[in-house]
C-alpha cells in the first residue's frame, strides 16, 4: 500500500526483518509529498539536510547520519496519521447551522458556500483561469495531500444542493422552477460522485471514505425522491442509513450524535417511499413519526401532510355520522370528517409524548386543526341565519344537528385547552418543588402566581362548557362540569394561599387553606356517580393531605416568626426567652451603639408681653431740637427771625 508523508526528507532502508546487512536493503529517497512503499521497515537514516536535523521516531531522537531500529507497527501508525481526512457530516452540519439553515434561509447558505469556495481556491492557488479566460481544473489524486481540495468538491455539492432547496421553496408559487430544482440536484449528485471517487484513493482514510459514500447516497436519494422513483430513492436512503448507523456504533456517544440525527432525518423518507411502493403499514409509522416530532420538516414535510390528508379523506368517505352524549349527528363537511378521524391518533400521540416540549407542540397542532373544523361548521351556519339565532326546533325542542355538531367541536377544543393548561400546571408544580435549588443556580424560578393564572384560564373554559347550546338541560353534564370546577377552584385557592405564605401573611393563608378543604370535601361528597369522569383530574385526597401538613407548618412558622420578629437588643429583652441564632454570630446585637439621643431641658426663652400696654412719659422738652440749616435758615438768622 502506498502512503504519503509530509514535511520529511529521509532515507528509508526497507529490508527483511532480522537482516543487518544494509547491502541487502533497498533505499528509497522521498521528498515532500513523495511516495514510498510501506514494507517491513527495520532502520532509518536521517539525511543531513537543513530542514531535518533531529526527528523523534518513538525509539529515540535520530541524529544526523544515524540509523534507528524501528518496527513495522510504528511506521504504519505514522503513515496512517499522514492520510488525508475530513469529517464530511460535521462540516456540513456546522456550516448549515451557522449560516442560515437554522431559520430555513437557503439563499444565505448558498452565498456562504460561494464565498468559501472563492477563499479556498485563492488559498490553494487553484483558480479557474483569470478574468479574461476560463481554464478548467480538476482535483486529482496526485494533489490530495491537502484536505482542502476535498473541501472544494464538498462546497460545490453543498452550493448546488442549497440552491435546489431554495428553488423548492419558490416552486410552491412558481411551478416552472421545479425544472431548475431538478437540474441543481443533479449537479449536486455529480459533485458528490466526484467526491466519492477521489476518496477511494489510498491517500484518504477509511472514515472519510465511508462518510463520502453516505453523503453521495443521501443526495442520490433526494434526487430520486423528487423524480418519484420510489424504489431507487429507498435503496439510496437505506444505504445512507446503514453507513451512518455503522459509524455511530464505531465511535463514542458524543461523536455518534450527528450520525444518529441524520438517521432520524431520513427515516420518514424511507417509510414514505415504502408506502408508495405498496407497503400500507408504512402509513401508520409515518403518522406516528409526524406526531411524535410535532411536525415534519424538510424535504418530506409537504408530501407527508398531503399524504395524510389524502388517506384520511379516503377514510372519511365512509364516515357519515358521529355519536356524542347519546345523540347521533350526521357529518357532511369533509374537513370535520378528517379532523374527527385523526382525533384518536392525535390524542394517543400526546399520551406517548416523551417530553413536555413535544407534548406542547402536539396540543397546539390539535387545537389548530380543531379551530379549522369549527370555522368550517360556522360557514355552514351562516346561510341559515334565522336557524342559528333560533336554534330550538319547534317539534323536538332540540338544537339543530349542525348546531349540535358545532357544540361537540367546541367541547373538544375547550377540553383540549384544559388538558394543555393542566399539563403546563404539572410541569410548573415540579419546578416549584425544585425552587430552592434553582435559586442557588441563579435561574428564574416558577412562582405560585404562574399557576394561579393557568387555573383561572381553566375555570373560564369550564364556564364556557356549561353554556354550550344543546347542553343546558343536560343535568349530568352540568353536574360533571360543576365537580370539575370545584376541583380546579380548590387547586387555585391552594396556590393563592402559597403566594401569601411567601410574603408571610399567615392569617390570610390559613383562611385560604380552610377554603381548599371545603372545596375538596364537596368534591368527595358529590363524586359518587361521577368517579369515572373525575379519574383524569388531580386527586383531591392528595390535596387534602398536603393542605393539612401545610396548616401545621404554617402555624409553626407563624409562632417562630413572632418570636424572631423581636429586633430589640439583648439588654432590653432579658425577661423574654428566645432562641436567637444571631446571638452566636459575629453581628450580635447586645446594646444600641452608638446610643440614641434623649430629650433634655433647654435654656428658657422670655417673652415681654407687657411692653405693648406701657405708656411712656413725653420727653420732647428734654430733647434739644436741632437748628434748621440751609439758605432759608441763614436769612432768618440775619434778620432775627428765630423761632
The least confident of 70-74, 407-411, 497-501 is 70-74
Where is pLDDT greater, at 45 or 576? Answer: 576
Distance (Å, whole) CA 549 – CA 540: 14
- 26-35, 410-419, 449-458: range with lowest mean pLDDT: 26-35
218 or 299: whose pLDDT is higher? 218
Q: Please enumerate, as own/partner, the contacts of 12-17 that have beta carbons within 8 Å and a separation of 24 or more.
A: 12/36, 12/41, 12/44, 13/41, 13/42, 13/43, 13/44, 13/45, 13/67, 14/39, 14/40, 14/41, 15/40, 15/42, 15/43, 16/40, 16/42, 17/42, 17/72
Return the pLDDT at 167.
Answer: 92
- Read off the pLDDT of each residue in 403-414 and give the average, rounded to a whole number: 90
Element (H, E) at 2: strand 2-4
Please check whether residue 554 is in contact with residue 547, taking contact to mean a CB–CB distance below 8 angstroms: no
Can you list the alpha helix ranges (DSSP code H) found in 106-176?
Answer: 106-124, 148-170
Percent of the chain with pLDDT over 70: 71
Give me the pLDDT at residue 39, please.
36
State which H helix or E strand residue 10 sits in.
strand 10-14
In this predicted structure, what is the pLDDT of residue 632?
67
The three-state secondary structure class of 321 is strand
Q: What is the pLDDT of residues 356-392, one digit of tens each?
A: 888 888 888 888 889 988 888 888 876 655 554 554 4
Judged on CB neighbours under 10 Å (0-12, 13-18, 19+), 20 is exposed
Number of neighbouring beta carbons within 10 Å of residue 485: 18
Whole-number pLDDT of residue 523: 86
What would the mean pLDDT of 488-514 be, rounded to a whole number? 88
Residue 471 pLDDT exceeds 60 = yes
* Helices marked H in 227-355: 230-250, 253-277, 281-293, 301-316, 334-351
Instruction: Inform me whether the pLDDT recorded for 96 exceeds 70.
Output: yes
- According to the model, what pLDDT value does residue 84 have? 75
Query: Is 98 a residue whose pLDDT tops 70?
Result: yes
Ranges 54-68, 203-217, 493-507: which has the least confidence = 54-68
- Position 31 confidence tier, pLDDT thresholds 50, 70, 90: very low
**pLDDT of 158:** 95
| Low-confidence winner among 53-67, 431-445, 575-589, 622-636 (lowest mean pLDDT) | 53-67
- Alpha-carbon distance of 13 to 25, in angstroms, equals 6
Question: What Cα–Cα distance (Å) separates residue 98 from each residue in 94, 106, 112, 338, 352?
Answer: 6, 12, 10, 40, 33
Cell of 126: 487553484
For the cut 60, the answer to whether the pLDDT of residue 574 exceeds it is: yes
- Provide mean pLDDT across the span 27-51: 35
- At residue 185, the pLDDT reads 94
CA distance 54 to 68: 12
pLDDT tens profile 310-359: 555 555 556 678 888 888 888 888 888 888 887 877 787 788 777 788 88
Torsion, Cα 104 108 111 117, to 10 degrees, reads: -60
In the predicted model, is pLDDT for residue 63 greater than 90? no
Averaged pLDDT, 522-551: 79
What gap in Å lies between CA 521 and CA 541, rounded to an integer?
Answer: 9
**pLDDT value of residue 383:** 60
pTM for this model (two decimals): 0.53
Which comes out higher in pLDDT, residue 426 or 17? 426
- What's residue 328's pLDDT? 85
Amino acid at each position: 500500500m502506498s502512503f504519503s508523508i509530509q514535511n520529511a526528507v529521509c532515507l528509508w532502508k526497507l529490508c527483511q526483518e532480522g537482516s543487518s546487512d544494509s547491502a541487502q536493503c533497498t533505499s528509497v529517497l522521498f521528498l515532500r509529498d513523495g511516495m514510498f512503499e510501506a514494507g517491513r521497515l527495520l532502520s532509518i537514516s536521517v539525511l543531513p539536510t537543513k530542514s531535518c536535523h533531529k526527528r523523534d521516531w518513538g525509539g529515540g531522537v535520530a541524529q544526523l547520519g544515524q540509523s534507528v531500529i524501528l518496527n513495522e507497527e510504528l511506521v504504519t501508525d505514522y503513515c496512517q496519521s499522514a492520510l488525508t481526512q475530513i469529517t464530511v457530516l460535521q462540516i456540513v452540519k456546522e456550516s448549515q447551522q451557522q449560516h442560515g439553515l437554522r431559520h430555513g434561509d437557503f439563499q444565505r447558505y448558498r452565498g456562504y458556500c460561494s464565498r468559501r469556495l472563492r477563499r479556498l481556491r485563492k488559498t490553494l492557488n487553484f483558480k479557474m483561469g483569470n478574468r479574461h479566460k476560463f481554464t478548467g481544473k480538476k482535483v486529482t489524486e496526485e494533489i490530495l495531500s491537502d484536505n482542502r481540495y476535498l473541501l472544494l468538491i464538498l462546497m460545490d455539492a453543498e452550493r448546488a444542493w442549497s440552491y435546489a432547496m431554495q428553488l423548492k421553496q419558490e416552486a410552491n408559487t412558481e411551478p416552472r422552477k421545479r425544472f431548475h430544482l431538478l437540474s441543481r440536484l443533479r449537479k449536486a449528485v455529480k459533485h458528490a460522485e466526484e467526491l466519492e471517487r477521489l476518496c477511494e484513493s489510498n491517500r484518504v482514510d477509511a472514515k472519510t471514505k465511508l462518510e463520502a459514500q453516505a453523503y453521495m447516497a443521501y443526495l442520490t436519494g433526494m434526487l430520486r425522491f423528487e423524480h418519484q422513483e420510489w424504489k431507487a430513492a429507498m435503496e439510496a436512503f437505506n444505504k445512507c442509513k446503514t453507513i451512518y448507523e455503522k459509524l455511530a456504533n464505531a465511535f463514542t456517544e458524543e461523536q455518534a450524535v450527528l450520525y444518529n440525527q441524520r438517521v432520524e432525518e431520513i427515516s420518514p423518507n424511507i417509510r414514505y417511499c415504502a408506502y408508495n411502493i405498496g407497503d400500507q403499514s408504512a402509513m401508520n409509522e409515518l403518522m406516528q413519526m409526524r406526531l411524535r416530532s410535532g411536525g415534519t420538516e424538510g424535504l418530506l414535510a409537504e408530501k407527508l401532510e398531503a399524504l395524510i390528508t389524502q388517506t384520511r379523506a379516503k377514510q372519511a368517505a365512509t364516515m357519515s355520522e358521529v355519536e356524542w352524549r347519546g345523540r347521533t349527528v350526521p357529518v357532511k363537511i369533509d374537513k370535520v370528517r378528517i379532523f374527527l378521524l385523526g382525533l384518536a391518533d392525535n390524542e394517543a400521540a400526546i399520551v406517548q409524548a416523551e417530553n413536555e416540549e413535544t407534548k406542547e407542540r402536539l396540543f397546539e397542532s390539535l387545537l389548530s386543526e380543531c379551530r379549522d373544523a369549527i370555522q368550517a361548521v360556522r360557514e355552514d351556519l351562516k346561510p341559515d341565519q334565522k336557524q342559528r339565532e333560533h336554534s330550538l326546533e319547534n317539534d323536538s325542542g332540540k338544537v339543530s344537528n349542525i348546531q349540535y355538531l358545532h357544540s361537540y367541536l367546541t367541547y373538544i377544543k375547550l377540553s383540549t385547552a384544559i388538558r394543555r393548561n393542566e399539563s403546563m400546571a404539572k410541569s410548573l408544580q415540579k419546578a416549584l418543588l425544585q425552587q430552592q435549588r434553582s435559586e442557588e443556580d441563579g435561574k428564574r424560578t416558577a412562582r405560585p402566581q404562574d399557576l394561579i393564572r393557568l387555573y383561572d384560564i381553566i375555570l373560564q373554559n369550564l364556564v364556557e362548557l356549561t353554556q354550550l347550546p344543546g347542553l343546558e338541560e343536560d343535568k349530568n353534564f352540568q353536574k360533571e362540569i360543576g365537580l370539575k370546577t370545584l376541583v380546579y377552584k380548590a387547586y387555585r385557592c391552594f396556590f393563592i394561599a402559597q403566594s401569601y405564605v411567601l410574603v408571610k401573611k399567615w392569617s390570610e393563608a390559613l383562611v385560604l387553606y380552610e377554603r381548599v378543604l371545603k372545596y375538596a370535601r364537596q368534591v368527595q361528597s358529590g363524586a359518587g356517580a361521577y368517579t369515572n369522569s373525575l379519574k383524569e383530574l388531580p386527586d383531591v385526597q392528595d390535596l387534602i393531605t398536603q393542605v393539612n401538613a401545610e396548616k401545621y407548618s404554617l402555624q409553626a412558622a407563624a409562632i417562630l416568626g413572632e418570636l424572631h420578629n423581636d429586633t430589640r437588643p439583648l439588654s432590653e429583652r432579658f425577661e423574654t426567652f428566645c432562641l436567637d441564632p444571631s446571638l452566636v454570630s459575629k453581628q450580635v446585637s447586645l446594646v444600641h451603639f452608638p446610643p440614641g439621643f434623649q430629650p433634655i431641658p433647654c435654656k428658657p426663652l422670655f417673652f415681654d408681653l407687657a411692653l405693648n400696654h406701657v405708656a411712656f412719659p413725653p420727653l420732647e422738652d428734654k430733647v434739644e431740637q436741632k437748628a434748621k440749616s440751609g439758605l432759608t435758615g441763614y436769612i432768618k438768622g440775619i434778620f432775627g427771625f428765630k423761632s
